[in-house]
């Protein structure tokens, strides 16, 4: 399958699909940090949506959408940043791609666009952390948990301030990326 991993600089999901033999490409306005620039499209993902993809996994920035930043919503609404972020999400969901997964934390997407198809947690896929992650699915089945673990912590939420905190908090857990590649990569084309 030809797969676009939108808004992913880490290449975590891209590499998981590549390991399963798929033609996967990450796309982000940032250069990739995953070590494979040959599999990375640096630029505006909206310019890539009509390139004949079989599947897209999209990770739009949650800065103006996540309810964890609700105290800033009045400013983000007044500046138009929140509506711009919602418009971007809608363009990704409306992309001419038969199979789409849009991933974001608990956010206003649920009330302003539509409810998520599924909410997953890292502890369902082999990681001892909590981080509710919403999936909006089009043409894809819900992910089936692969390795439910005990000892759950909110380590991600409690990360100390740092210049890379946003990047560390937004990176997809490997177990979730592997489940996507294992389960969705086997779908007939």
Q: What is the pLDDT along the chain (189 residues), one digit of tens a residue?
A: 999 999 999 999 999 999 999 999 999 999 999 999 999 999 999 999 999 999 999 999 887 787 776 666 677 678 878 889 999 999 999 999 999 999 999 888 999 999 999 999 999 999 888 889 999 999 999 999 999 998 666 655 554 565 664 444 567 899 999 999 999 999 987
Alpha carbons 70 and 26: distance in angstroms, whole number: 29
Give the pLDDT confidence score for residue 160 in this predicted structure. 55
What is the number of alpha carbons within 13 Å of residue 90 lying toward its C-beta? 11
Rg (CA), the chain: 16
**Token pair 């979730």: residue:** 176
Q: Is 30 left (phi over 0), alpha (psi -120 to 50) or beta?
A: beta
Give the pLDDT confidence score for residue 165 in this predicted structure. 45
Contacts of 94 by beta carbon, 8 Å cutoff, 6+ apart: none
Rounded to two decimals, what is the model's pTM?
0.88
Give the pLDDT confidence score for residue 90 in this predicted structure. 97
């Amino acid at each position: 399958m030809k797969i676009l991993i939108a808004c992913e600089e880490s290449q975590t999901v891209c590499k998981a699909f590549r390991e399963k033999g798929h033609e996967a490409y990450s796309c982000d306005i940032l250069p990739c940090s995953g070590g494979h620039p040959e599999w990375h499209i640096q630029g505006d993902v909206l310019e890539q949506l009509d390139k004949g993809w079989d599947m897209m996994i999209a990770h739009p920035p949650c800065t103006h959408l996540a309810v964890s930043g609700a105290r800033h919503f009045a400013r983000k609404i007044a500046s138009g940043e929140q509506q711009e972020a919602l418009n971007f999400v809608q363009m990704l969901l409306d992309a001419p791609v038969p199979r789409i997964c849009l991933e974001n934390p608990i956010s206003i997407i649920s009330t302003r666009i539509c409810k998520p198809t599924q909410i997953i947690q890292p502890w369902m896929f082999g990681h001892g952390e909590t981080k509710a992650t919403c999936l909006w699915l089009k043409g894809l089945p819900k992910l089936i948990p692969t390795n439910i673990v005990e000892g759950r912590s909110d380590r991600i939420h409690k990360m100390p301030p740092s210049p890379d905190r946003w990047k560390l908090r937004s990176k997809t857990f490997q177990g979730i990326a592997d489940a996507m590649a294992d389960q969705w990569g086997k779908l007939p084309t």
